[in-house]
Structure 1
C-alpha cells in the first residue's frame, strides 16, 4: 500500500443493506422451507399479490417477465403452485385464450404464517424510531431500491 491511506470501501449503510439482504434471504429460505415452498414460489406469490392489489391481471407471461424465468421454468413454477393449492388458473373473462393466475385462500394463509414472525419483529424494531426518523429511512430505502433497479437495467 502506498502512503495515500487505506482504500475506502463501501459505505457502512451499503454493508448493512447487503447484510439485511442476506438475512432476509435466509429467513425466506428457512420459513418457506417449513411450508415446503421455495424462494421462487414465494417471489411468484408476491408478484401475483402486488399486481392483484393494483387491479392488474396476472398471466404466466407477467410472472415470467417479473421473475426473469424461461417459459418452461415458468410452467413448472405455476404447476408447483397449482399442485400445492396456492394458485389457480382461470380463463380470462374477455379473452378465453388467456390464462389468469389467482392466489387461493391457502396462499394467503400460508403467506401469513410464513411472514407473521418477521412482521412482528420488524414492527417491534420500528417502534423504537420516531416518525421523522422513519421518514428519512423510508426515503433512503426508496433511493436504494431505485439505485438497484437502475444498476440492474444498466
Structure 2
C-alpha cells in the first residue's frame, strides 16, 4: 500500500501544480488537461481533432468546443486544416503555449529527470513497468 499512497501523493501534488498553472494563466483545469492531451497526441503522431480531444477529456461536443474556443482566444491552440483531408480541422498547441508550459513545469521536469538519472537502467525499467501498469488500471475504468 505504501507505493499506492506515494503514487496518490504524487498525483495530488501534480494536480495542485496544474491548478496553479491554470489560475496563473486564466485557464480552467480542463484547459490544462486539454493542452496535455494535444501535446501527447502530437508526440504520438496522432492527428488531434476535436473528436479525439473530447473523447480523451470525457467531454461532450459542446464542452469540447468551449474548451477549444477558450484556448484559441488565449492563443494556446490553433485550428489548422488537415493536409490529408481539407474538410477536417486539426488542433495544434501554439509555440507560445509550449514555452509558457516549459517556463512553469520545466524546473519540475528537470528535477524529475535529475532524480531518474540516479537510478540504474534496470531500476528505470521497473519504474516504467509500475507506472505503465498503474496507468492501465486507471484507463481500464
For residues 33-112 of structure 1, what are the structure 2 equivalents within 5 Å? 33-112=23-102
* Aligned-residue offset at 1:141: 1.1
Residues 124 and 116 of structure 1, relative CA distance in 2, 3 Å threshold = same
Structure of larger gyration radius: 1
Partner residue, 1:7: none
* Aligned-residue offset at 1:129: 2.5
* Aligned-residue offset at 1:115: 1.2
* Aligned partner (choices 107, 115, 124) of residue 134 of structure 1: 124
> Which runs of 5 or more structure 2 residues have no equivalent in the other structure?
none
* Structure 2: distance between partners of 1:61 and 1:32: 23
1:77-127 Cα shifts (integer Å, max 9, x gaps): 000110011111123334333211112111211121121021122123223
* Aligned-residue offset at 1:132: 2.4
The structure with the greater share of residues assigned to helix is: 2
* Aligned partner (choices 125, 130, 142) of residue 115 of structure 2: 125
* Structure 2: distance between partners of 1:34 and 1:113: 12
* Aligned-residue offset at 1:76: 0.7
Residues 53 and 120 of structure 1, relative CA distance in 2, 3 Å threshold = closer
Paired residues, what number? 141
With structure 2 as the length reference, what TM-score do the two structures score? 0.89
With structure 1 as the length reference, what TM-score do the two structures score? 0.82
> Which runs of 5 or more structure 1 residues have no equivalent in the other structure?
1-10
SS in 2 for 1:138: helix
